[in-house]
Amino acid sequence: MNSSLTESNLGCLLVVDDQESNIQIVGAALGKLGFEILPATGGDQAFQRLAARRPDLILLDLLMPEIDGFEVCRRIRENPDWAEIPIIFLSSADDKGLIVRALESGGVDYITKPFNHAELVTRVRTHLALKRARDELKQLAEDRDELLGILTHDLKNHLGGMDMSAQLLRDRTEAMTDPKVRLMAENISHSSSQMLAFVKEFLANASTDHGLHLETEAVNLSEAVTRAVQLYQEAAKRKQLVLQSVLPPANGVLVQADRAGLNQVLDNLLSNAIKFSPPGKRIRLTVCPPGARYVECQVQDEGPGFNETDKTRMFRRYGRLSARPTGGEPSTGLGLSIVKKLVLAMRGELACESTPGNGATFAFRLPRAVISH
C-alpha cells in the first residue's frame, strides 16, 4: 500500500546504513522538514521494514557488511511490491566505477558522504516529485484502460445493435410513399453507421498504442479473404460497387498470423476501398500464389488514388489525405495506421502503389505457415 502524503508528512523515507550516526545525520536534516524517517542498520532489517510498510523513497548505504547495497537493491527490484520505490545510494566512496554500477543496479541517484544538507534535501524532494508524477501517470493510464474497457464491452455492442436495427428500419421504409419517413430512416442508419465505425477505429488504435498482444498461428488466408468479401458485399451493393476475390487454386494458403489481427487488416483495407470508391467501380481482393517465405494479398480499387504527399503521411495516425469518402462515410485517419501496426507486429510487410486518378493497390505480405507432418 502506498503511504499517503499529508501537509505534516512530506513522505516516508527508509534510511539504510550500518552506521547509526549517519542515520542520525540524515534524520536531523530531513526529519525536521516533515519527512518521516524509518531507520535500518542493515539489509535484513531493511527487508523487515519494507514488509511492514512501504516507504516513498529509500536512502541506501552502498558499502555495508554482510549484505551490501548492491544486493539489497537487487532484492528490492526483484520484489514487485517494492520494485518502483526510488533508491538513492549513499557512500563515502567517490569511485566512478562504483557510481556507474550503483545506477545500473537500479538506483536513481548517488550522493557522496559527508552530506551537503541542501543537496541531500533537494535530491530527495526531486525524486519524490518524480515518483508522484509517475504514480499519477500510471493512474491516468489505468483510468484510460478502464474507460476503454467500458467502451469495448458496452458502447460498441449497443451501437452495433442500433446500427443493425437502423438498417432494418431503412430497408422496411424503402417501400413507403412518405419521403419524410424514408429520409429520417436513412439519416438514422447513416448516423449510427458513422458512430459505430468511429468507435471501432478509435478502440483499435487505442489497443495498438497500448501494446499489441498477438498470438500467431497457421491461418487460411483464402478463407479470411472470402469471409471479408461476404461481410462487405451488402455495403458494396449499396454503393453500386462490384466486389470480387481472386484466390489461388486448391484449398487455400496458410499464413502465420494472428486471426483477429488479420481480420482487422482486411476489414480496414476493404472498408477504405469501399469508402473512397465512386459508384459503378470494381474492388478486387487477390491472394497471390505463395512464395518461398511469404504470401501476398492485394486490395485493389478504382478510386481517386493518392498523390505523393498522401504517400508520405498515409500511415500516420489521424493522417488526412486528399481523397474524400464518396458516400459521406466517416474518416478518422486511423485505419491505415492500424493496418501498418498490425502487419508489422505479425512480421509482415505493407506497401501501396497508386497514382492520382488510377486507384490504389494496397499489398501486404505475411510469413507463409510451415506445417510439419
DSSP 65: S
| Same domain membership, residue 327 and residue 220 | yes
Residue 231 inside a domain? The answer is yes
Rg for the chain (alpha carbons), in Å?
30
3-state helix, strand, coil split of the chain in percent (to 5) is 50, 20, 35
| Same domain membership, residue 346 and residue 275 | yes
The C-alpha atoms of residue 12 and residue 6 are separated, in whole angstroms, by 11
Let me know: does 37 contact 15? Beta carbons within 8 Å: yes
**Type of residue found at 230:** Q
Q: What is the pLDDT of residues 12-69, one digit of tens each?
A: 999 999 999 999 998 888 988 889 999 999 999 999 999 999 999 999 998 898 899 9
| Same domain membership, residue 44 and residue 184 | no
Mean pLDDT of the chain: 83
Neighbours of 190 (CB within 10 A): 16
| Same domain membership, residue 245 and residue 188 | no
| Same domain membership, residue 147 and residue 84 | no
Q: Does 174 score more than 90 pLDDT?
A: no
Q: What is the pLDDT of residues 106-136, one digit of tens each?
A: 999 998 888 788 899 999 999 999 999 988 8
Q: Helical H runs in 105-155?
A: 117-150
Domain boundary at 183, 211, 239, which?
A: 211
The CATH number of residue 53's host domain is 3.40.50.2300
Banded pLDDT at 179 (limits 50, 70, 90) = confident
Q: Picking from 6-10, 144-148, 321-325, which range would have the lowest pLDDT averaged per residue?
A: 6-10
As a whole number, mean pLDDT of residues 262-283 equals: 90
Could you tell me the three cell numbers for 19?
Answer: 552506521
Q: What is the pLDDT of residues 196-227, one digit of tens each?
A: 766 666 666 666 655 556 788 999 999 999 99
Domain boundary at 170, 195, 211, which?
A: 211
Q: What is the pLDDT of residues 320-348, one digit of tens each?
A: 666 666 665 655 556 788 888 889 989 99
| Same domain membership, residue 53 and residue 68 | yes
The CATH number of residue 267's host domain is 3.30.565.10
| Same domain membership, residue 163 and residue 21 | no
Residue 330 inside a domain? The answer is yes
Q: Does 4 score more than 60 pLDDT?
A: no
| Same domain membership, residue 355 and residue 232 | yes
Q: Does 349 score more than 90 pLDDT?
A: yes
As a whole number, mean pLDDT of residues 189-193 equals: 71
Residue 122 inside a domain? The answer is no
Identify the residue with better confidence: 231 or 206.
231
Identify the residue with better confidence: 253 or 144.
253
Indicate the number of domains in the chain.
3
The C-alpha atoms of residue 73 and residue 58 are separated, in whole angstroms, by 10
Domain boundary at 211, 237, 258, which?
A: 211
| Same domain membership, residue 284 and residue 361 | yes
Residue 17 inside a domain? The answer is yes
Distances (CA, A) of 254 to 81, 218, 340, 372: 44, 6, 20, 13
Residue 124 inside a domain? The answer is no
User: What is the domain extent for residue 34?
Assistant: 11-115
| Same domain membership, residue 344 and residue 253 | yes
| Same domain membership, residue 346 and residue 318 | yes
Q: Does 99 score more than 50 pLDDT?
A: yes
| Same domain membership, residue 193 and residue 178 | yes
Q: Does 6 score more than 50 pLDDT?
A: no
Residue 189 inside a domain? The answer is yes
**pTM of the predicted structure, to 2 decimals:** 0.51
Residue 135 inside a domain? The answer is no
Q: Does 5 score more than 50 pLDDT?
A: no
